[in-house]
Amino acid sequence: MKMAIAKSTTALSLSAAFVLAAGPSHAEKWDMPMAYSASNFHSETGAEFAACITEGTGGEIEVVTHPGGSLFAGDDIKRAVQTGQAPIGERLLSSHQNENALFGYDSVPFLATSFDDAEKLWTAARPSLEEILAEQNLTLLYSVPWPPQGLYFDREVNSVEDMEGIKFRSYNNATARLAELTGMLPVSIEAAEISQAFATGVAESMISSGATGYDRKVWESLSHFYEVDAWLPRNYVFVNSDVWDGVSDANKEVVLTCAETAAEVGLQRSKDYTQFTVDGLREGGMTVEPASDQLKADLVQIGATMSADWLESAGDEGAAVIDAFKAAQ
């Protein structure tokens, strides 16, 4: 019996070796750095996208995802792909707002506060963003929104006055500006690091989705989540344009089809996870409720300032995006 098993194992490994040796002649491995935890819905969608390409190209392009900032930290992913250190990657689009204001189009407070509007705004902004990315040697493949952004605190907060002096975790320019305008103290921290930042008191609050709070179990340190629906920022997946140019037409078709599916599946997941994760925060012991009327009114005022700031920095191109979005409503 033992012999038979040993024999068949050898036969198996031999045939596996044969398959490998006889595999596609132009096989390429694409490492795909991602910033968010493996269990996050963007990462799950990315893993399916990767498998779709590997399967669809018959292994000619094998995409391997590296979630949680394990290959490159979130902030380094775009540069890594631009310079060819990684062929493909995923990043939060608005984290590039300091390079070009247009990247922050999705973090303008109260401009698009529902999934439908976020898609319309994305459709309006996409051509300009693709152009900017192309100039940076990057080709956009797909993009998926995060759920609506709400405010997390380690205490009850009913007005902007209550926020004075609170340490606020920011993830892009807009969130840092929000902290400034509300009298809070911004500290920039990647999602992968926030559990520790909250546990050690480096940060005491943030604006983010229910999904990120749930992923990072923030109820261990924070107590309140206010559903503000300020905006729906997006992640995007992009490939180095030189690498992309080298892909055969047939494989490009596979990648683009997988990308289209990922965008649809990711959007649906984002919608489904909105309620699921907000319920999860509640189950974790947090108080989850809409912002008070006072807080809402205060935030609308701050939002108006931030919108004006953004329009000023994004110029004509930014104004054209807003016009196209309004026309689509």
- Contacts with ligand PCA, residue ranges (CB under 6 A): 92, 146, 171, 191, 208-209, 211-212, 233
C-alpha atoms less than 13 angstroms from C-alpha of 55 in its C-beta half-sphere: 8
- When the beta carbons of 234 and 251 are compared against ligand PCA, the nearer one is 234
DSSP assignment of 162-214: GGTT-EEEESSHHHHHHHHHTT-EEEE--GGGHHHHHHTTS-SEEEE-HHHHH
- When the beta carbons of 173 and 209 are compared against ligand PCA, the nearer one is 209
Provide, rounded to whole angstroms, the least separation between the CB of residue 194 and ligand PCA.
7
Q: Pairing relation of β-strands 224-227 and 150-153? A: antiparallel
CB 165 within 8 A of CB 48: no
- When the beta carbons of 243 and 265 are compared against ligand PCA, the nearer one is 265
Provide, rounded to whole angstroms, the least separation between the CB of residue 259 and ligand PCA.
21
How far apart, in whole angstroms, are the C-alpha atoms of residue 215 and residue 277?
Answer: 8
Provide, rounded to whole angstroms, the least separation between the CB of residue 166 and ligand PCA.
17
> b/e for 59-73, b at 16 or more Cβ within 10 A?
bbbbbebbbbbebbe
- When the beta carbons of 128 and 208 are compared against ligand PCA, the nearer one is 208
Burial, 165: exposed, middle or buried (Cβ in 10 Å; 0-12, 13-18, 19+)?
exposed
The partner residues of 66 in beta bridges, in order of sequence, read: 33
Provide, rounded to whole angstroms, the least separation between the CB of residue 216 and ligand PCA.
8
How far apart, in whole angstroms, are the C-alpha atoms of residue 322 and residue 105?
Answer: 9
With tokens 């037409």, the residue in question is 249
Provide, rounded to whole angstroms, the least separation between the CB of residue 297 and ligand PCA.
24
- When the beta carbons of 92 and 176 are compared against ligand PCA, the nearer one is 92
Provide, rounded to whole angstroms, the least separation between the CB of residue 218 and ligand PCA.
10
Provide, rounded to whole angstroms, the least separation between the CB of residue 162 and ligand PCA.
22
Q: Pairing relation of β-strands 185-188 and 167-170? A: parallel
- When the beta carbons of 54 and 277 are compared against ligand PCA, the nearer one is 277
How far apart, in whole angstroms, are the C-alpha atoms of residue 266 and residue 43?
Answer: 10
Which residue has its beta carbon closest to ligand PCA? Answer: 209
The partner residues of 290 in beta bridges, in order of sequence, read: 227
Provide, rounded to whole angstroms, the least separation between the CB of residue 254 and ligand PCA.
29
- When the beta carbons of 66 and 241 are compared against ligand PCA, the nearer one is 66
How far apart, in whole angstroms, are the C-alpha atoms of residue 205 and residue 160?
Answer: 13
- When the beta carbons of 209 and 240 are compared against ligand PCA, the nearer one is 209
